[in-house]
Copies of this chain bind each other. A is one copy, B any other.
Amino acid sequence: MKPVATDSQNMRVADIKIELAAGEAGREMHQLIAELYPICRSITGDGLRDTLRRIGQQIPLKVYEVASGTPVFDWTVPQEWNIRDAYIKDASGKRVVDFKRSNLHVVNYSVPVQRTMSLEELKPHLFTLPDHPDWIPYRTSYYKESWGFCLSQRQLAELAAGEYEVSIDSSLQDGHLTYGECYLPGETSDEVLFSSHVCHPSLCNDNLSGVSLAVFLAKYLQSRPHRYSYRFLFAPATIGAITWLAKNERQTARIKHGLILTCVGDAGRMTYKKSRRGTAEVDRAVAHVLKHGGDHETLEFSPWGYDERQFCSPGFNLPVGCLMRTPNGRFPEYHTSADNLEFVRPEHLEDSYRKCLGVVDILENNRVYLNQNPKCEPRLGKRGLYGGLGSKAQVERHELALLWVLNFSDGEHDLLEIAEKSGLEFSTIRQAADALCQHQLLELRSN
């Protein structure tokens, strides 16, 4: 069944059909994660800039700098943090904790320090995970000036009493908050937003996996025509999203659908947290893809989690959900050094990617049609619409899909609703709609 567009209106349907990419996407996504992994990111600073620069090598990215002190709604863009080196040296001069080995060793946003102090004095500045003695925790102190080191429980246990040299070669001063946008214009100015926070240092699932997935979605869409315009936002969590919303307040009405992408590389089942609206088209689209895609979980909206908190604040109430595999806080590796390159796997990244493309396919093709022969069934046989290629089951599904699309294309049901009513996959329903359009039995509802 090869749909041939019959007029300019229906052509859009045929043209933007998404063909799922085969094979290598997961491996390439993992490679990008590996490239970005060593960089010490934060909510501001050069690590963030370097990350955006590398993303810009993959997809067209416009980078924005917003000055420290800029008011953004109830918040203020913070001072910029940069770090060059940090360590704890023992009496022998040996670096017993070394930023160069893992950027998680320094509490993110630590103010500079250069002192010698006893272990007792030092201890209030040391953070470990006693339950996971080999793992380094991830800690931040964005809005309270302080400093500290994160280390494994084993490292801590090996520290003998005595004097230690403590050095954090960082700076916290007026500068900028940086974020990047990849905008892919489509046929309409209505937008689909994908947003991934890009402020975490060497942590893979949260959220280099989301960043990488967004990059590869953009790469895919960049090469194909699409109805919607797509906006990929790479910004620091919370303050970045708030800054973006403050700068783009008037244009948010264009956002018709949106997804936060995070924690999409682990082995867990897919999890979808609905938008605040709960029944937005994106909520229905993701629900459909997950229902036909194996084990999964759906969560109602709640006002904490990732940047859906901001996009779904009541003054915006945008239709933005959050797509994950295992949600934040539900895997022990979360916010520790164990969220590393082994924790995220190409096959899971690939699966998340394919599901995202499935969502995009639905959003692009989910239209309302009008049956042009609404009184009794049209005679499909004389048009050669019965039968067709494929297995017996495929043919039967296609024939059923034709009848479902005809019966419910009354101007009240979009294709996704028809797919849900019929229990058939969206792609089967869409192909049926294409075939019926080709025979003038269906027309896109103009509205």
Q: Is the CB of A249 within 8 A of B312?
A: no
A363 close to chain B: CB less than 8 A: no
Q: Is the CB of A303 within 8 A of B375?
A: no
Binary contact readout A369-388 vs B (1 if CB under 8 angstroms, 0 otherwise): 00101111111011000000
Q: A303-B404, A379-B74 are in contact. Are A314 and B143 (CB under 8 A)?
A: no
Q: Is the CB of A376 within 8 A of B245?
A: yes
Binary contact readout A230-261 vs B (1 if CB under 8 angstroms, 0 otherwise): 00000000100110011001000000000000
From B238, B314, B400, A371 is in contact (CB under 8 Å) with B314
Copies in the complex: 3
Q: How large is the interface on A (under 10, 10 to 19, 20 to 34, 35 or more residues)?
A: 35 or more
Q: A314-B409, A382-B143 are in contact. Are A304 and B400 (CB under 8 A)?
A: yes
Distance A111 CA – B400 CA, assembled complex (angstroms):
30
Within 8 A of B (CB), among A345-378: 371, 373-378
A408 close to chain B: CB less than 8 A: yes
Listed residue (A73, A373, A375, A400) with the most chain B CB atoms within 10 angstroms of its CB: A375
A276 close to chain B: CB less than 8 A: yes
Chain B residues with Cβ below 8 Å from A390 are none
Within 8 A of B (CB), among A127-182: 143
Q: Is the CB of A407 within 8 A of B74?
A: no
Q: A312-B407, A403-B304 are in contact. Are A375 and B249 (CB under 8 A)?
A: yes
From B245, B303, B374, B404, A406 is in contact (CB under 8 Å) with B303
Chain B residues with Cβ below 8 Å from A303 are 377, 403-404, 406-408
From B276, B313, B375, B404, A374 is in contact (CB under 8 Å) with B313
Closest 5 CB pairs of A and B: A315-B374, A315-B375, A303-B407, A314-B410, A303-B403
